[in-house]
């Protein structure tokens, strides 16, 4: 990947955002995960920072890099040790257990962010990183149909357990970040002087089980009143996402609004079609 040309990226610009790469689970079908997933993330980050370095301070002031909570900890069952029982991960932690064979996307986020911090030091750049959890919330366009977040939530909205063609709900628990909170965190990181050199997790405080999600949607979205009940699962505080509130003043969107706004937007845009409720059995 070529470095960005100085005149095409930073002339007359105060701030630069490196807004992340394509979200993948597992290998994403890549033949060579190191080449196809990790290298583009690292090289893309390096290209942005090296291009920006040509104009640092004239007038470029800061670079905001979108990382991921997966750079903090492995989001699967593997967990690196914490300082004590129930202690959530913080911005001081790094994911040192994900492997290229199992989760190359997460490895790419670790390596890309480490590259950003290394180049920030070498090139004298002012960098802030934003680390969202699993991003949900209203979808702006049908162009998002292929996204992981949309695919995941579509499987919930379209779930049904009736006869014919049952579509089971996903099971487990997940920790979300509202897309509007992620956007706001980037803006706040850009305009808050004291944010320089800091990492900021953006995340709901606890994970949400399939049952919690379906309970919210069944009560709030009329088209989903007949959703099957999701399975219960432990709901944990996996990350401490309070720094962005204390230091940047971010106000988190309530989980209920995140989930209902996403469901309604998927239905409105034709990206998800709720199952039709089965007719009630006739009484004898």
**Residue pLDDT, tens place only, 78-97:** 555 555 567 899 999 999 88
Residues 41, 36: Cα–Cα separation, whole Å: 9
What's the pLDDT score for residue 93? 93
* DSSP output for 117-130: HHHHHHHT--EEEE
Q: Which residue has the higher pLDDT, 29 or 50?
A: 50
- pLDDT of 98-122, one tens digit each? 888 888 888 999 999 999 999 999 9
What's the pLDDT score for residue 100? 86
Spell out the domains of the chain, with CATH numbers in brackets. Answer: 1-132 (3.40.50.720)
What's the pLDDT score for residue 102? 83
Asked if 140 contacts 210 with a C-beta cutoff of 8 angstroms, the reply is: no
Which DSSP letter does residue 205 get?
Answer: S
- Reported as type and span, the H/E element at residue 134 is strand 134-136
230: left (phi over 0), alpha (psi -120 to 50) or beta: beta
Residue 106 neighbours by CB under 8 Å, 6+ apart? 68, 70, 71, 74, 75, 95, 98
What's the pLDDT score for residue 217? 98
Whether a cis peptide bond, with omega within 30° of 0, leads into 59 is yes
- pLDDT of 132-160, one tens digit each? 999 999 999 998 888 899 999 999 999 98
Residue 272 neighbours by CB under 8 Å, 6+ apart? 153, 154, 157, 158, 263, 266
What's the pLDDT score for residue 26? 54
Confidence of residue 59 (pLDDT cuts 50, 70, 90): low
What's the pLDDT score for residue 2? 47
What's the pLDDT score for residue 6? 42
Residue 233 neighbours by CB under 8 Å, 6+ apart? 171, 172, 173, 207, 209, 210, 211
Q: Determine how β-strand 208-209 pairs with β-strand 173-174.
A: antiparallel
- pLDDT of 219-259, one tens digit each? 999 999 999 999 999 888 889 999 999 999 999 999 999 99
Residues 227, 99: Cα–Cα separation, whole Å: 36
Instruction: State the Cα torsion 108-113-114-115 to the nearest 10°.
Output: 90
Give the mean model confidence (pLDDT) for residues 190-207: 96
The answer to whether the predicted template modeling score (pTM) of the entire model surpasses 0.85 is yes
* DSSP output for 267-283: HHTTS--PPPPPPPPPP
What's the pLDDT score for residue 273? 94
Give the mean model confidence (pLDDT) for residues 200-229: 96
Percent of the chain with pLDDT over 70: 81
What's the pLDDT score for residue 215? 98
For residue 66, is pLDDT > 90? yes
What's the pLDDT score for residue 7? 46
């Amino acid at each position: 990947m070529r470095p960005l040309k100085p005149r095409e990226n930073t002339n007359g610009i105060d701030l630069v955002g490196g807004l992340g790469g394509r979200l993948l689970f597992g290998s994403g079908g890549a033949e060579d995960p190191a080449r196809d997933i990790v290298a583009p993330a690292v090289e893309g980050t390096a290209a942005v920072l090296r291009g920006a370095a040509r104009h640092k301070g004239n007038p470029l002031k800061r670079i905001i890099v979108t990382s991921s909570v997966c750079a903090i900890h492995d989001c699967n069952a593997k967990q690196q040790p914490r300082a004590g029982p129930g202690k959530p991960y913080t911005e001081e932690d790094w994911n040192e257990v994900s492997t290229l064979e199992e989760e190359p996307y997460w490895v790419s986020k670790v390596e890309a962010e480490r590259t950003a911090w290394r180049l920030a030091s070498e090139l004298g750049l002012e960098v802030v990183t934003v680390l969202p959890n699993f991003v949900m919330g209203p979808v702006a366009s049908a162009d998002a149909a292929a996204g992981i977040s949309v695919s995941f939530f579509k499987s919930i909205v379209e779930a049904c357990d009736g006869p014919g063609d049952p579509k089971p709900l996903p099971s487990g628990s997940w920790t979300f970040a509202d897309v509007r909170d992620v956007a706001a965190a980037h803006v706040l990181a850009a305009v808050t002087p004291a944010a320089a050199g800091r990492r900021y997790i953006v995340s709901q405080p606890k994970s949400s089980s399939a049952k919690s999600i379906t309970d919210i949607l069944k009560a709030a979205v009329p088209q989903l009143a007949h959703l099957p009940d999701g399975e219960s699962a432990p709901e944990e505080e996996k990350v401490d996402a309070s720094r962005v509130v204390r230091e940047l003043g971010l106000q988190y969107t309530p989980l209920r609004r995140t989930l209902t706004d996403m469901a309604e937007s998927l239905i409105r845009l034709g990206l998800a079609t709720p199952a039709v409720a089965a007719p009630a059995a006739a009484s004898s």
